[in-house]
Amino acid sequence: MLVPIKWMSQYVDINTDEKTLADKLTLTGSHVDSIINNEREVENVITGKILEVVKHPNADKLVVTQIDINDGEPLQIITGAKNVKKGDVVPVALEGAKLPGGVRIKKTKFRGLPSYGMMCSYEELGFEDKVIPKEFRDGILILPEDTEIGKDVKEVVGLNGKTLDIEITFNRPDCLNIVGMARETAATLNTEFKFPNIEIKNETENIKDYLNGVEIENEELCSRFYAKVIKDVKIEPSPLWMQRALMDAGMRPINNIVDVTNYVMLELGQPLHAYDLEKLNGRKLIARRAKTGEKVITIDQNERELSESMLVIADEENPACIAGVMGGFNTEISESTKFMVLESANFNPKSVRETSKKIGLRSEASARNEKPMHYKMAEFASQRACQLIEMIGAGVVVGGYMEAGKSEYIPSIVTMRPYRAAELLGVEIPVEDMLKSLNSLEIKSTFDGEQISSEIPFFRADIVEEADLIEEVGRMYGFENIVSQPLQGKIKKGRKSLRREVEDEIKNIATGIGLYELTTYSFISPKSYNNICASEDSELRKYIRILNPLGEDYSSMRTTLMANMMDVIQRNSFRGVEGAKLFEVGNVFIPLQLPITEPPMEKSKLCIGLYGKYDFYDMKGVVEAILSRFGIPISLKPIKDNQTFHPGRTAGMYLNDECIGIYGEVSPEVLDNYGLNHSVYLAEIDIEKIVECKDTNWKYEPLPKYPAMTRDIAVKVKDEVLVGDMEETIKTINPYIIESVKLFDVYRGEHIENGYKSTAFSVTYRNKERTLKDKEVESIHKKILEALETKYGATLR
C-alpha cells in the first residue's frame, strides 16, 4: 500500500525523517518496501492565466496564446493542445526552465512566430500515466481558476514529499488505510494520534422522504448496511488537494463524488459505493443472494452472469451492484445525477473473495472487502464521506440515515500473564512498559496484580488470545532488542524417513552423472493426458479434479510425471536449448476411488528425460546406473501397448515379475502433439519399489587369484528372441564358473535371412579356487550352445 507521508501527517505528529520512520515502522511489523520520492526535477515553472487564444496564422493545428504570469507584459506561448481556452490557469515553463528527464525549455519559433516558453501537462511535470485524470491525459494541466498567478508550480501542485510503499499482511486490514498507519506511526514514534474530526454541519430534510429503506436478507453475507442520501449533487472535478492525495496514493482522480469515496476508502479502509437514487426501482436497496442465471452490467460495461453463491445489492427488481466487488452500470452516478444514495456496508470476506475470483474482477475495494473489517467502520466512513461532500460543495447531505444488521459493539476482553510474555519473548519487560505499549495502540489495558486485561478495539479483529497481546508487546518493545536465545526442550533428534533418504540418494546419483533436476507443479491440465497419448482406459486418466483451480491448465492432480517432463523439454527446445539430460523426483496422486471420499494415495516417482545427442542406450545406462546403486537386479521386457512410447523401442523394468518402471523412445504422435522434431527418451520409475526392494548390504571379495578364460559365441536366432533372456540362460548353465556374459554384437544383413539376427556374446569363465583347464571350458561352452539351440532354436554361425 502507498502511504503519502504528507497525508498521514494530518493524523499524527511525525518527528523524524522518512528514512528513520521507514526503519522504525519495519522494526515494529509494518514492513516498508521502499520510499518513493515525489520530488520532481522542476525549476522555473510558475502559474499563468491565459488572456487570449487565437489561431496560428500559418498552422492549422497550433494556437497562439497570451499568458499573464504577473510579471508585466503578457508572455506569448504557442501550443498544439486542444483543451486550453481563455481564462484558464496553467503551469508555464519559462525560458531556461528545467523539467523531469533533464528537459530544458528554450525560446523557439513555430511557423515564423516566437514562443517564449511552454504550457505543461501532468506528464511533462513527471506524473505516471496511470494516475493522470482522463481529462488531462492528452492535454495541458488546467489549475483551479482561483489559483494565484506567478506562484511556483511545485507549491501549487504539490510536487514534493515522500511516499512509503508498505507491505500489509493479511491479518492486519486495520493498517490497509492512512489512518491505520498513522495509528501505528504514533505508537512507534511515541507521538499523538488524531482521528479525523467528523462533523456534518448543514444536514437538511429527512432521508425517509427520499429512500424507502435498506434491507439485509442474509446477515451471514452482509453484517451491516448503512445508507445516507445526498441531494443537489453537482458532478465536477474534485479539488486539487484531493486529486493530488489520490495520485500520490496511486489512484486516478475521476470526479468529485467518486474521488470522495476513494479518498475515504484510502483514509479509513472502508469501501463505499454511490448509486443514482432516481435509477433505483422502488427507491430501496436490498442485500441478497443473486438468483441463478441473473445478470448485471458492471460499470466497466461488461455483462456478468451471477450465481446463487454471490451477494448483490439490488433494488426491488434488479441487481444494482455486485456486493463488495463492483457497481452496476445502470445505477451509477453520472453528470445528470441530482440525488444519490451512499452505501457503506460490511460483507463476508470469503464471499467477496470467491465472487471476485469467479467473475475475474479485482479492485482496491474488493481487496479490502476480502479481509475481515468490523461493521462499526461502516458508519464512520459514511459520515466522513458526507462531511467531505459538504466541504467541497458536491451536494447537500439529507438528514438521518437508514441501516440494517448489526450496530452495537461490545468489546471483547483478552487477558495476558506477564510471566508468560517473558517465557515466549525471552526477555523480561516491565508491566508498566507493557501497558504503555498496548494503550498506545488504543488497546485499553489494566493490570490487577496478576494479569493484564485488555479491551480490544473494534478495528483489531486479529487479537483473540493471549499470544496476540504478547506479540503486540514484543513488536512495540522491538524484536531487534531481544537477544537471541538457544532453544530448550526435550525434543528427540529427528531423522529423515527411509523414502526421503532414497530420494536424496537418487538425486545425488542423477546429478553426479550429469542430469539437471526439475521441480514442477503437482497439478496439470487434463489435456496433458491427451498430449502424451494416454489410452482412454489408462489408469493415468483416473485423476482428481481440483474444485478451485488456478485455471484450466492447473485443474487436475497429476498421476504421472511424464507430462511435466515433456512440457519442460518442449519449452527448452523452443528456446534454443539443443539437448539436455533432466530428472524430477516428485509425487503422483492416485485416488482410491472416484469421486474421492478420502485422501488419495501419494506415490513417489522418478522421471528422467533425455533429448538431443542421446539415444535409447544412453537412457538404459542412466537407469541401470541408478538402480545398480541400490542393488536392484531388474530384467527387461519389451512394451508394445503403451501409446506414449515407440512400440519397438520401449522396455519395461521388472523385479520379481512386477513392473517397477518403463523407459524408451517417445512415440512420433506424442512428439507431434508437443511440436518437437527430434527424438525424446523418457523413463518413469516407482521409487516406492526401490525403497521396498533395495539391497545395499554389499559383500566385498578379494581380487581373484586365478586367471579367467574368455570365449566368444555367435548364434543366429529369430528376431523376436530377446537378448536378455539368452543372457540369463547362459548364466544358469554354471553360475559358479561363468563369471560374466556380455553382448557385443547384433547383426542383420547379408548372409542372414529376413526375420533372423546374429547375436554375439563374450563369456568369461573363472574358477575362484584353481586355474581352469581348456577341457572344462569347452564342456561348459558346449552346454551353452545346446541350451540356446533347445530353448531358442539358435544355430551356431
Residues making up the annotated binding site for Mg(2+) are 462, 468, 471-472
Rounded Cα–Cα distance for residues 317 and 463 (Å): 41
Helices (H), 225-326: 240-248, 256-268
Retrieve residue 87's grid coordinates: 481564462
Cα 573 to Cα 567: distance, rounded to the nearest angstrom: 10
DSSP secondary structure letter of residue 584: E
* CB neighbour class for 139 (10 Å; exposed up to 12, middle 13-18, buried from 19): middle
Give the dihedral sign, CA 515/516/517/521.
Answer: negative
HEC string for 489-519: CCCCCCCCCHHHHHHHHHHHHHHHCCCEECC
Rg (CA), the chain: 39
What CA–CA distance (Å, rounded) separates 311 from 291?
10
Q: Please count the other Cβ atoms lying within 10 Å of the Cβ belonging to residue 406.
A: 17
- Count of other CB atoms within 10 angstroms of residue 729: 17
Cα separations in angstroms, 250 against 1, 10, 133, 163, 263: 9, 19, 12, 10, 11
Distance CA 460, CA 464 (A): 9
Give the C-alpha separation, 449 to 453, whole Å: 11
Contact call for residues 177 and 268 (beta carbons, < 8 A): yes
What SS3 class is residue 328?
strand
Tell me if 413 sits within 8 A of 455, measured CB to CB.
yes
Phi, psi of 630 (to 5 degrees): -105, 10
Residue with grid cell 493415468, as numbered in its chain: 540
The β-bridge relationship of strands 43-55 and 738-747 is unpaired
Per-residue 3-state assignment (H helix, E strand, C coil) for 555-579: CEECCCCHHHHHHHHHHHHHCCCCC
Alpha helices in 199-347 (DSSP H): 240-248, 256-268
Reported as type and span, the H/E element at residue 382 is: helix 376-392
Dist CA 331 CA 63 (whole Å): 41
- Euclidean distance between CA atoms 91 and 80, whole angstroms: 15
- What DSSP state is assigned to residue 292? T
Residues 765/711, Cβ–Cβ less than 8 Å: yes
Three cell numbers at 384?
A: 466522513
Q: How many Å apart are CA 429 and CA 418, to the nearest integer?
A: 8
All three cell numbers of 415: 487477558
Map grid coordinates 479492485 to a residue: 363
104 DSSP β-pair partners: 98
Collapsing DSSP to helix, strand or coil, 730 comes out as helix
C-alpha cell at 376: 462499526
CA distance 679 to 613: 9
409, 378 Cβ separation under 8 angstroms: no
Cβ atoms of 216 and 282 within 8 Å: the answer is: no
**What H or E segment, with its residue span, contains residue 622?**
helix 616-628
Residue numbering of the annotated binding site: 462, 468, 471-472
For the CA atoms of 272, 274, 280, 284, the dihedral, rounded to the nearest 10 degrees, stands at 40
- Comparing CA positions, the residue from 681, 615, 685 lying closest to residue 652 is 685
Q: How far is CA 387 from CA 201, 342, 749, in A?
A: 8, 12, 97
